[in-house]
Structure 1
């Protein structure tokens, strides 16, 4: 398994908000404890809101708060996109200002994010190309609202999906989908999408293909993995 894929798997395990021991994470991903410790440091450095430490456990924290502002996911995306656009522009002064503003934002993040490097919208490995999928976020959000099916190209393969929810993991966006091609739920990295088409067909809510069903499946998998290691 590629390291970036393993890191994404760890994010998906930790997304339930509960505390996971490093030993359990190592068993789930078939790597050593030392590798898990390095992976947690890398995820934190990439902006993923990791909380925890060696000997206790790790989890991904809830929504990001900037005192005295509570940001919605849409507001956070707007801030992220704006800083990225300015930071990559041709105006050197504005680009420098975007980076210093990123530094100031990082400085007021909660303690679990204090170890993140300067540059709120300037991601580091392994998600340095996270900005590639930003162009698709408005279409994906609209498709979620209108229950519109999407045709996505990932790894040169087309998938027909029902988009259910967008998640933000500190500079990395994922989309929870019911994949009609694979007949299963998936959490797709938006930066890995190379093409997107909005299809004319709509989808209706079905209990076994809903966001609630996805969350229940993840919770059940987490409980089974934990009980299986006792």
Structure 2
């Protein structure tokens, strides 16, 4: 088998084992040298796999966000690269760096014609002229969305009036010239939209949302999506 196939097989073996498995056992399963197993473990770690353990003890794959082996056709690869290039050109620093790592990971596991598509792709996403966003605020905002928890923020509205708010974050929209947070605002007791460049400070709280985020998102779609936005 090719090295790419071996890496995917190794990943699958680690995923299926609940307990650490030694490099010797892995080398027997894959019919390669123990030294090759060590190199393969390092390669998988460099690609983002959380593998615990060390030589002489055994290795184990930690549970996490790990995609199973996938294959893409040419158009799917072009769509992936175009989307990642848009993020690289338009998002905050953390997302830009994540897009670059994602492109590198895809490039590391494809071969032949697929790799040619990646390296010679001529679909590009121009930079959108967003208002400047604070990287730490953007990072904390995504954290509150993932954890489905409330957040406390200080917001400057279109009349330069500052207010402190407790919100239930729902979604982020990337508009033509701004990034917008949709949320339920406890101060206004209704759904509101907030431009990220006007958020002065933002802190994810320990308090969980009172309703599942999917429920709030669906209510927002029904009640607000087709209405004019405020607080812009």
Where relative contact order (Cα < 8 A, 6+ residues apart) is larger, the structure is 1
TM-score, length of structure 1 as denominator length: 0.43
Larger C-alpha radius of gyration, 1 or 2? 2
TM-score by length of 2: 0.43
